[in-house]
Amino acid sequence: MSVDIRIDPILCRGHAICALFFATGVDLDQWGFGKVVLARAETPKDVRRAYRAAAACPNGAFVVRERQEARAQPVA
């Protein structure tokens, strides 16, 4: 399973909790606001860390969405 990650810049208030829980996927700018470095988490460890960061974000700015894999259509 892989997930897509983004940070909503309007909701982000610079608490930097996302970087604490998911340091490999988030970097902080000079004011402490998060920016995504790893836009897609594919390893189980990174997926867990991304979900933890999303759960810990007090403003809901850290968004994790399950990636919808394209399914092969049967040939008629």
pLDDT digits (tens, 9 = 90+) for 6-48: 999 999 999 999 999 999 999 999 998 999 999 999 999 999 9
With 0.85 as the threshold, say if the pTM is over it.
no
CB 11 within 8 A of CB 60: yes
Kindly state the tokens that stand for 61.
Answer: 């700015």
- The answer to whether residue 70 scores a pLDDT higher than 80 is no
- Percentage of residues in the chain having pLDDT higher than 90: 80
CB 34 within 8 A of CB 27: yes
The domain segmentation of the chain, as residue ranges, is: 3-66
The CATH architecture one would assign to domain 3-66 is 2-Layer Sandwich (3.30)
